[in-house]
Chains A and B, each alone.
Chain A
Amino acid sequence: KQEVTQIPAALSVPEGENLVLNCSFTDSAIYNLQWFRQDPGKGLTSLLLIQSSQREQTSGRLNASLDKSSGRSTLYIAASQPGDSATYLCAADSNSGYALNFGKGTSLLVTP
């Protein structure tokens, strides 16, 4: 089974900083890695999907990278804003199953 770990568990930064969230996974034979955002009491919003053949994906101020050989992905957030405060979840599937397995998330607080 794919095991996903996210570091750090929580992060607090002042507005305007660039930041990196880390995700590691145990099975490098993945189809996809997906990053989500979850606001308190809400559902999951997909941010970026990286397919196994890709190295990175970008959307606005977000950039996600994938290194299958090392079992790592990073989510880079540029010029952070208070509205970015949320929990960020990383999830990966594997060749042994198409279901996404989730990390515990990184709780991000961006202070004005």
Chain B
Amino acid sequence: DAGVIQSPRHEVTEMGQEVTLRCKPISGHDYLFWYRQTMMRGLELLIYFNNNVPIDDSGMPEDRFSAKMPNASFSTLKIQPSEPRDSAVYFCASRSRRLNTEAFFGQGTRLTVV
């Protein structure tokens, strides 16, 4: 397996624009997580899914943020409209509860909102 795949790796956008981040988890993993990392706040859990169903979205900062998982192999995190304070590195991770595996992380998407 190629691991957790995120796209794009880098995104620069203007304030007010819509941004969509994408994630492909490891095949067979039933949990998918979205995290945001900043210098000030470290790694924050935004939302996670189990079998494509959102379980906890209490970390989503505002209604401008939304996440979907239409199938077991794809998830999106959308920010609309984007603001400069959304600039951060966004990570996607997956793991298998049935096998109780480690969590594996993607390489992240570095988002800059100007």
Interface residues of A (CB under 8 A from B): 31-32, 34, 36, 42-44, 46, 49, 51, 89, 91, 97-105
Q: What total of A-B pairs shows CB separation below 8 Å?
A: 50
Q: List 22 contacting pairs A-B, 8 Å CB cutoff, sorted by A.
A: A32-B100, A34-B103, A36-B105, A42-B107, A44-B91, A44-B93, A44-B105, A46-B104, A89-B43, A97-B48, A97-B55, A97-B56, A98-B31, A98-B48, A98-B55, A98-B95, A99-B33, A99-B45, A99-B56, A101-B45, A103-B42, A104-B42
Closest to A49 in B: B102
**B50: chain A residues within 8 A (beta carbon):** 98
**B100: chain A residues within 8 A (beta carbon):** 31-32, 51
Establish whether residues B48 and A43, one from each chain, have CB atoms under 8 Å apart when the complex forms.
no
Closest to A44 in B: B105
B39 to chain A, nearest CB (A): 10
Residues of B65-97 whose CB lies within 8 A of A: 91, 93, 95, 97
B98 to chain A, nearest CB (A): 11
